[in-house]
């Protein structure tokens, strides 16, 4: 392979990696995963949970953490597949399109699981706590 071909391959691989980092970075700013993280701070520090609520929340968080780690692995694998397809095809090929679709599917799955988690946390709150919680959800999702 000629030097200029290697340069193109390396450039495309870097672009694919940077695209993944950029998408993941921008996605996390407004994505519900970030919202859930901020909500954890709110719930643990500002809502004065009872001992029973704290115990329930701990179980909820452990379940979510396991599922989140699994989905993050899917996102990494999809990004690697995208990089590989771009490197191999050097065009917007069906393989590249499929890899993008796989990444979006994993990202959508993460969003759904996170929203479910947010509602699961909300279920353990009192009416007064839920008002504060809901306001934080709206603020986090509408913040630019």
Q: What is the pLDDT of residues 97-110, one digit of tens each?
A: 999 999 999 999 99
What's the pLDDT score for residue 34?
52
Q: For residue range 112-139, what is the model confidence (pLDDT) as tens digits?
A: 998 999 899 999 999 999 998 888 888 8
Which whole-number Å values give the CA distances from 18 to 23, 25, 73, 79, 82, in the listed order? Answer: 8, 10, 17, 10, 11
Residues 42-58, mean pLDDT to the nearest whole number: 88
Residues 57-75, mean pLDDT to the nearest whole number: 93
Rounded to the nearest integer, the mean pLDDT of the chain is 79
Look at 14-28, 59-73, 114-128 and tell me which has the smallest mean pLDDT: 14-28
Give the single-character DSSP code of 1: -
What's the pLDDT score for residue 82?
93
Residues 20-36, mean pLDDT to the nearest whole number: 46
Taking the C-alpha atoms of residue 42 and residue 52, their distance in angstroms, rounded to an integer, is: 17
């Amino acid at each position: 392979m000629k030097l200029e071909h290697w340069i193109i391959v390396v450039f495309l691989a870097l672009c694919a990696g940077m695209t993944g980092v950029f998408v993941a970075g921008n996605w996390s700013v407004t994505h519900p995963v970030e919202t859930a993280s901020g909500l954890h701070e709110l719930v643990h520090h500002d809502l004065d949970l009872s001992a029973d609520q704290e115990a329930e929340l701990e179980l909820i968080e452990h379940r979510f953490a396991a599922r989140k780690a699994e989905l993050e692995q899917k996102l990494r694998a999809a990004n690697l597949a995208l990089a590989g397809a771009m490197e191999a095809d050097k065009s917007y090929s069906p393989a590249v399109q499929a890899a993008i679709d796989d990444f979006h599917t994993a990202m959508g799955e993460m969003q759904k699981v996170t929203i479910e988690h947010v509602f699961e946390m909300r279920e353990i709150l009192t009416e007064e706590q839920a008002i504060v919680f809901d306001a934080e959800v709206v603020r986090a999702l509408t913040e630019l």
